[in-house]
Structures are given as structure tokens and as C-alpha cells.
Amino acid sequence: MMEGVRSSGPVIAAMPLYNEEETIGTVVIQSLKHVDQVYCVDDGSYDSSARIAAKLGAKVHYHRSNKGYGAALKSIFKYALESNAEALVILDSDGQHNPNDIPVVLEPILSGNADFVIGSRFIEGGSGEEMPAYRKLGVKLITATSNLTTDLSVRDTQSGFRAFSNRALKKIRFDQDGMESTLEMLEQCKDMDLSVTEVPTVIRYDVPKGSRFTAMSHGFTVLSYALISLSQKKPFLAFGLPGAGLLTLGSAIGMRALNRVNDFAGTSLNLDLTVGPGLTAAWLSMLGISLIFTGLVLQGTRTIMKRLIVRNFGLE
């Protein structure tokens, strides 16, 4: 049980649950030591996960079929809002997060210093070093893209260990049913002016199921979402930057080809050494210019649409 003055309802620990019968028991028992309630969303598991969780004192909500991680988070948010939770902490049920870190993740919320806390692997004291290299690269790529979109400087956007204040629960809305919901929430924090902070946590990679094959495909889905989101929110950056890169490369190849023309002026070597690079330079430059132009048009359209919406509906 948490100490302190209560302005609203319970402190809840919640977890998406999908076929985790080997670990869920320990996670529920240990979590109950730190919060008022444990809430599990069983997403169509075909093992004994849900029965074990319920037996050990968790409240279990059932989805009849597997709807995905984000869909489970939606059910969790709905329940936390209905309970007017003072704070909500979400953690994985596969044993990768240590429930004894719950107080650390909740602290900034309960002391009123943040609305959204991420248990991060990549700040001092976190467990980023233990992460398999390919996963680390994926998470860093997703995090960098997401930070460009949100202007936040979060170090670990992909941690499932997160806590929310009552204010954040009331303001955050997300649509995605998959793991992309992790990024959508951060965009909401930025849009709704919620304060985000990170605390170090250890995330284990030696749990019974360990890192699974699906992690790769989840990674690509989340990265695609991050790129689409960036191209929608900051099209000039998303198209203009690669465009400028291609234009620079094209120009460099073009300049070299031109220099060759000068070097071999009057000899028969000219054509062989300059036509190929010249053509490459031309199409790279044209592609670069098209991308920059696309970025400009999209950015302009976005600005005009935004102004129209603000003028006609008073919304940002």
C-alpha cells in the first residue's frame, strides 16, 4: 500500500497479459506489495495465465480474442479512469520488469513532479548494456525518430514500464492497437502539455520466454509508425533532409565528373568516365530536389490546414 495524502482513487499496477503462465504469478504477488490493486488484461491467452492472476488477487479483464498490446492498454486506461486512479503503473507480465521497481517509477507521479514516467534502460542506472545489440539499435532508431516528431528528448521510448498521473489518464487518448501505442502516447504528452520524465530501471533478457521472434516484426511496425508520424507532423524535415542528402551526393558526383572532363579535355577518355557519373549525378539531384519540393508543399499544406482548423473550430 502506498503512503501519503490521497486526492483521488487507488494506485493501480496493470499489465497486458498474453500467454505468460510461467511468470504472471510472481509478477502479481510482487506488484501487490507496492500498490492498492493489480489489474491484468488477458488478451485471449490460451494458457492458464488469467486463472493464475485471478487466483493470486489480480482483477482480470478478458478480451475474447487477441486484440494486441495497444488494445490491452486501452482497456487498462478505461479501468483506471473509471476508478479515478491517483496513479497507474503499467509493466510487462513476462518477468522482464522487476515489480520491486514500481515505487521508483511511481515516485515522480506521487510527489507531483511528473505526469508520465518511463522506466528507462538508457539513463544512468538502467540496463541498456544487457540488451541484445540488434534490439538496442532498433530501439535507438525508433527513439530518435520519435524524438524528432515530439521535440522531447526521451532516451527510451520503447519501455513498457510506465506510470501515469490522474491528469495524464484524463488527457491521453490513443488509437493504435499494437505496440505503436507507446509512441502515440508520447505524442499526446507533447500535444497535451504533460510533463514526461525517465527513471532508470533494469529490464531482463534472461526470462523464461526471453526475446521472441515477434520482437523483430514488432520493431518494424513501430519504426514504420514513427516514420509515418514524422512525415505527417514534420513533412519538411522528413522529406527535405533525405532530399538534401541526395542533392548533396548528386552534386558531389557531378562536380567530380566535371573535373574529369577538364582533366582529360581533348582525349577519348572523356565520354567513358563522365557519362555514367554524369547521369547518376543528374538523377540523384533530381530525386533530391523532388523530395525537398514534396516536403515544402506538404509543410505548406499542413500549416494552412492548421490555421483553418484553429480559425474555424478554435482547436490546435
Ligand X SMILES: Nc1nc2c(ncn2[C@@H]2O[C@H](COP(=O)(O)OP(=O)(O)OP(=O)(O)O)[C@@H](O)[C@H]2O)c(=O)[nH]1
Nearer to ligand X, 31 or 166 (CB): 31
- Given Mg ion, ligand X, none, residue 247, with its beta carbon under 5 to 8 Å by kind, binds none
Nearer to ligand X, 43 or 115 (CB): 43
Q: Would you count residue 115 as binding ligand X (CB under 6 A)?
A: no
Q: What CA–CA distance (Å, rounded) separates 232 from 238?
A: 9
* Edge-to-edge strand ranges of the sheet holding 11-17: 59-63, 37-43, 11-17, 87-90, 162-165, 116-120, 196-200
Closest distance to ligand X from the beta carbon of 132 (Å): 9
Contact segment (CB under 6 A) with ligand X among 92-100, 237-245, 256-264, 289-297 equals 92-100
Q: What CA–CA distance (Å, rounded) separates 153 from 144?
A: 9
With contact defined as beta carbons under 8 Å apart, do 139 and 128 qualify?
A: no
Q: Would you count residue 86 as binding ligand X (CB under 6 A)?
A: no
Among 31, 45, 75, 96, binds Mg ion (CB under 5 A): 96
With contact defined as beta carbons under 8 Å apart, do 294 and 280 qualify?
A: no
Closest distance to ligand X from the beta carbon of 251 (Å): 42
According to CB under 6 A, which residues from 194 to 223 bind ligand X? 211-212, 215
Q: What CA–CA distance (Å, rounded) separates 261 from 271?
A: 8
- One-character DSSP codes across 59-84: EEEEESS---HHHHHHHHHHHHHHTT
Q: Would you count residue 26 as binding ligand X (CB under 6 A)?
A: no
Q: What CA–CA distance (Å, rounded) separates 26 from 94?
A: 10
Closest distance to ligand X from the beta carbon of 136 (Å): 11
Q: Give me the torsion for CA of 280, 286, 292, 295, rounded to 10°.
A: -110
Q: Would you count residue 53 as binding ligand X (CB under 6 A)?
A: no
With contact defined as beta carbons under 8 Å apart, do 68 and 43 qualify?
A: yes
Q: Would you count residue 20 as binding Mg ion (CB under 5 A)?
A: no
- Alpha-carbon separation of residue 88 from 59, 152, 213, 231 (angstroms): 14, 22, 29, 32
Contact segment (CB under 6 A) with ligand X among 30-38, 93-101, 238-246, 265-273 equals 93-101
- Given Mg ion, ligand X, none, residue 160, with its beta carbon under 5 to 8 Å by kind, binds ligand X
Q: Would you count residue 43 as binding Mg ion (CB under 5 A)?
A: no
Per-residue string for binding with ligand X, 152-181, x by CB under 6 A?
--------x---------------------
Which residues bind to ligand X, rule: CB under 6 A?
15-18, 20, 41, 43, 66, 68-69, 72, 92-94, 96, 160, 211-212, 215
